[in-house]
Amino acid sequence: MQDNTRKKFIHYWELTIDELKAMAEQGDAKAQSQLGNRYYKGIEIEKDLTTAKEWFTKAAKQGEKVSQFFLGLICLHGYGVEKDEKKAVEWLTKSADQDFEPAEYCLGKCYKDGIGIEKDLDKDNELLSKAKERETKKQLELKNSKDNSNEKELGSLSQRIAFSEPAIHQAVMNQIDFALPNLIWERINDAFEYFWNEEVGVGGYFDNDSMFNSIKEQLVAANILYPDFLLFRIIEAIRNYIDTIPGVVIYD
C-alpha cells in the first residue's frame, strides 16, 4: 500500500533515463510509457523508434492508454515499422475506450476515411462529440479547481493569472505578425495544456523542440494540418512569455 501511494506522486518526466529504465524493467507501466516517449522523441537519448515501440508495447499490454495511442500512431503511419492500419485501429480503440481524447480524434479520422476499418461517419461523429464534451468538462474543472496540493499547479495568484489561457493568447498575438484563427489557437492551446500537465509542470525544464514535437503530434492526431514554421513561431512566442513569469521555468 505504501508503494502505491508513493507512486501517485512520481513525476515521471523528471526521472533520468537510467531511473526510468530501472522502473520500467520492474514492470512500471507509466515508466515504460515515459521511456517509450523518450525514445520516440529523442529526449535525452538518441531517437530509436524500434525501441520506443518495444516499451510502448509493454506498457500498452498493461492497459496504459497513452502507450496504446502512440502504438496506434506508429502502426498507422509506419514509423520505424511496416504500416499496419488494422493493428493501428485496434490500439487506438483500446486507448479511446479509456477516454483518451487524442486517440478518439485519431480513431474518428480512421472511421471517417475508412482507414483500417469500414467507413462509418456516425461512429466518427460519436467519437468527436465524446472527445469535445470531455475536453470542455476538463477545461471547466480546471478553471474551477481550487486544489493547491498539486505540485504542478501555479502557486501564487499572480502566476495563475499570468499563466491563464487569455493571457498566453494575448501574449502570442502581440508577438506574431500573421493571422491565427480561433479554432487553430484553441487546438494549439489544448495541446499545450496536455504537454505542460503531462511532461513539464511548474519549475520543470523544456525546450522549444520538445514542445513543438508534442503539440504537432496532437494536431496531426486531431487531423489538423498547420504549417510547421508558423507553429514554431507560436511556440517561440509561448516560450518567450512563459520565461517572463517568475518561478515557472527553472534553468540549469
- For the chain, the domains span 2-98, 155-242
Question: What is the mean predicted confidence (pLDDT) over 48-71?
Answer: 92
pTM: 0.57
Q: Which of 49-58, 189-198, 233-242 has the lowest mean pLDDT?
A: 189-198
Q: Please report the pLDDT score of residue 10 as a whole number.
A: 61
Distances (CA, A) of 60 to 33, 42, 56: 8, 20, 6
Q: What pLDDT does 147 receive?
A: 45
Taken in order 24, 33, 99, 70, the sign of the CA dihedral is negative
Q: For residue range 172-231, list pLDDT tens digits in order.
A: 888 888 888 877 888 888 888 888 777 665 445 567 777 888 888 888 777 777 788 888
Distance CA 79, CA 110 (A): 17
3-state secondary structure of 9: coil
Q: Which CATH superfamily is domain 2-98 in?
A: Tetratricopeptide repeat domain (1.25.40.10)
